[in-house]
Amino acid sequence: MRSVGGVDGLMKNIKDATGTVDEPREVELGHGITETLLGARPLLDDPALQRYVNEVGRWVAQQSERPLLPWRFGVNDSEHVNAFAAPGGYVIVTRGMLRVVRNEAELAGVLGHEVAHVVRKHHLNALRKGAWVNLLGAGAAAGTAGEQGGELVEALVGPTKELYARGLDKDDEFEADRIGVVLATRAGYDPWGLPAALQTLGTLKTDDPYLALLFKTHPNPGARLDELGVAMAANFDGFQGLPTNADRYLAATKKMRSTPPQAESKK
């Protein structure tokens, strides 16, 4: 029988971590991945706004197939226009994205898109498919039998950065758009919130460095709108008139919007 240590042990443990992962391990991995992605840009120091985004996000997440995950939402102190999710129920939206979003229905659509990535385990599946070769050199500690989750998270740092810099498959993004619209509508919001946010993104300059990562990791807004248009054409006409809660959104983001954009690395 071959040893479970070394390369064999590493492969077995990484497969366990990203394949048939149980929910506690998924949450643990998601926590580590989120810390890695936050990096030098911490969460925004605005407790009221953080509570508001969590209230909206958790309500949207309650409409999903995984309402019992310990969902956590946060606003990253970054002017880059982006939002991202990590396994286990972690969702981050940047301050830059909140400057683009105009009302609560649009925010619900953006957060619903990220919730969908978690529900469908898009990032876990991508790591499972792409991590093998990258993780072979992660270190002997990560390959020992009975290793702890923290060591697995550390081993996944490199592949995590690579995945989130490259982005998911476009089909995953289109699926997340479709599900995000459904979740926002179930939560009682105008279903055209996400399409409206995509329309706004489509009007922004493509060479804006603060948009570079979003456009690199997602299909262009026009393509996403085309896909959503087909999906929504026959199913959402009866939901016109649901609220956008623009006033509540503007009140919740007033402090943030009154603060001038801060210079930061655009890479």
Encode pLDDT of 191-216 as tens digits.
Answer: 999 999 999 999 998 889 999 999 99
**Can you state the angle between helices 193-203 and 104-119, rounded to 10 degrees?**
100
SS3 83: strand
Q: Which two tokens stand for residue 205?
A: 């300059």
In a domain? residue 118? yes
User: How many Å apart are CA 133 and CA 226, to the nearest integer?
Assistant: 36
| Residue 159 pLDDT > 80 | no
In a domain? residue 195? yes
Q: What is the mean pLDDT of residues 32-48?
A: 86
User: How many Å apart are CA 172 and CA 177, to the nearest integer?
Assistant: 9
In a domain? residue 67? yes
In a domain? residue 151? no
Confidence tier at 3 by pLDDT (50, 70, 90): very low
Confidence tier at 40 by pLDDT (50, 70, 90): low
In a domain? residue 199? yes
58: containing domain:
29-122+158-235+243-257
How many structural domains comprise the chain?
1
Mean pLDDT rounded to a whole number for the chain: 84
In a domain? residue 133? no
pLDDT at 126: 87
Ranking 58-62, 231-235, 241-245 by mean pLDDT, the lowest is: 231-235
pLDDT at 82: 95
